[in-house]
A and B are shown apart, each in its own frame.
Chain A
Amino acid sequence: MKKFSADKLFKWCAVGAGVLILAVLAAVAVFLLIQASPVFIGDRDAAAHSISSFTGGSTTNFFVFVGPLIFGTILASALALFLAFFVAVGIALFISHYAPKRLASVLSYIVDLLAAIPSVVYGLWGAFVLVPHTYPVWKVINSVLGWIPLFGGPVSNPPRTIATVSIVLAVMILPIITSMARDIFVQTPLLQQEAALALGATKWEMIKLAVLPFGTNGLVSASMLGLGRALGETMAVLMILSPGSTYGIHIFTASRNQTIAANIAAQFPEADSMGVSTLIATGLVLFVITFAVNYIARRITHRSSSKKNGMIASVMAWSTRKFSSRNANHSAVSKSDTGDNNNGKAGE
């Protein structure tokens, strides 16, 4: 009886925690909606006036104002994710499959430490190290790859540009992605890895056959967490980027782009009440973007896993079958009992 009530208590604690996260999310959404509403349903003249003051008089329409901010936010974050992703997967594979044990644990520790550095420190590093010293690098890339629109256009000096911001953002999100990817890679079933090796796979071929397919879904989740941090990053962008409000695609040109989060931080101290509402409305847009990005990523992994029958779908199929065979006959019971989590053995 006592055991039963403890079980119930724990269950309701867990349910409570689950409900709490939904409640917090809903509260944030409601706050944003209420605070942003004056821009759309309040005094039109006041709203137009504050938007006009944010944009230097170029527009009074909220969506014309927020468009370039969305563009700048996504451009900087996407570049950062692109830069960080491959490096992170490389580091994670090195830690999980190549490095000797001691080096691997030291590296893991350092990666986790990197994640704990506050973003203002990354901002300082970007502003005082990258900005003064990276101009020659951008110049070279621009002259070699300038025919690609992204790398074209004039190169600003000092490079308070999207390119420099992306580097800093990439370094910031690197530890999150690395740390998650490592945790996934080390969980690859030994039996799968041995299957590949026994077919005459080299280490890299084994990783392609066993480790990466196992980790695909987890890698997408890790990237989304990283992207989420990049989308919302404020301080580092604020300290490095020279802002502008265009749809400029040239990442080496300053004063063309701005991100939503950095714009809020930059404008907030001087804003009147309608100005604050306008900024919060841009925050609402960022909230929606983050949701949309996560949703799209889930859809992509879900589709690829149902098409190719990836890990989640197949594990579910396996466990369903295992469960039904457990009821079906005795020999299947002993089979599944020896089957659980027995990742091969070192040898006997």
Chain B
Amino acid sequence: MGQRIDVNHLNVYYGDFHAVDDVNMVLESNKVTAFIGPSGCGKSTVLRTLNRMHETTPGAHVTGEVLLEGKDLYAPDTDPVEVRRDVGMVFQRPNPFPTMSIRENVLAGVKLNNKHISKSDADDLVEWALRGAALWNDVKDRLDKPGIGLSGGQQQRLCIARAVAVHPQVLLMDEPCSALDPISTLAVEDLIGELKDEFTIVIVTHNMQQAARVSDTTAFFNTQGSGKPGHLVEMADTTTIFSNPQSEETENYISGRFG
């Protein structure tokens, strides 16, 4: 089952630069939440703060709280490594480990936690994860072939399988289809709909149709201009955002008048 995330008064800084200003939101469990907004509005940054991946950028830091089922991810005694085991991530471009086979890729995260997983358990887990990622039928006969030999869309689903194999609570997706062709995009979107039964999903997308297709809730971010912090304009049911937005900014954005 997925867990819910509460974001309270989140501010993100890169060094002295104030990147995101005072975000408050609730990401419901087992729902798909989409972050939309123009470039530079901070949506990817907010996504990366949900599993502390922003900390790989030197000088990045946050104030405020991110609560995973009530537990603060930024509490002083919380290890970012532990956070990332609960909150998995899929990136903009497929990034399977190039020297590993398909099977090894799926097990890469699992082997970090559990070095001595038995072969039969590993086989079951590989099958479960690949079925979950709608990839099992494509690759079951070539599990020992390199993951990099798959097509782009298959590689992205392999990365999703790798992320779900560690049984996270939440799955973050940072523009997961932006490097994929339309057919692969469709496959990944279908998959998102299935995955929300088991995980809470947060997806950043530049594609408003995609947000409308896959998400239950949509959050619109905007910025006053480059150099200004991004902020959350409004967040509501996806149907509400796209049919009856509260804010004029949102209205302009979704109707294509800017951004």
List chain A positions with a Cβ less than 8 A from chain B: 101, 189-202, 205, 209-210, 213-214, 216, 308-311, 314-315, 317-318, 329, 331-332, 335, 338-339, 342, 344-348
Contact = CB atoms under 8 A, between A and B. Distances in A.
Given A191-B91, A311-B99, A347-B14, A198 B178 contact: no
Contact of A191 (B43, B93, B166, B181): B93
B53 A335 contact: no
A194 B56 contact: yes
Interface in B122-163: 146, 148-149, 152, 159, 162-163
A156 B54 CA distance: 58
Interface of B: 14, 19, 39-45, 48, 51, 53-54, 56-58, 60, 81-82, 84-85, 88-89, 91-93, 95-100, 108-109, 112-113, 146, 148-149, 152, 159, 162-163, 166, 178-182
A224 to B, nearest CB: 20
Contacts of A197: 53, 56, 84
Contacts of A201: 81, 109, 112
Contacts of A345: 44, 92
A314 B41 CA distance: 36
Given A198-B88, A213-B98, A344-B92, 16 more contacts: A190-B56, A195-B96, A199-B85, A199-B162, A209-B97, A210-B97, A213-B99, A311-B98, A338-B179, A339-B93, A339-B179, A342-B93, A344-B91, A345-B92, A348-B39, A348-B42
A145 B152 CA distance: 54
B91 A346 contact: no
A331 B182 CA distance: 8
A54 B43 CA distance: 77
A288 B43 CA distance: 60
Nearest to A337: B179
A189 B96 CA distance: 12
A96 to B, nearest CB: 14
A222 B181 CA distance: 40
B134 to A, nearest CB: 20
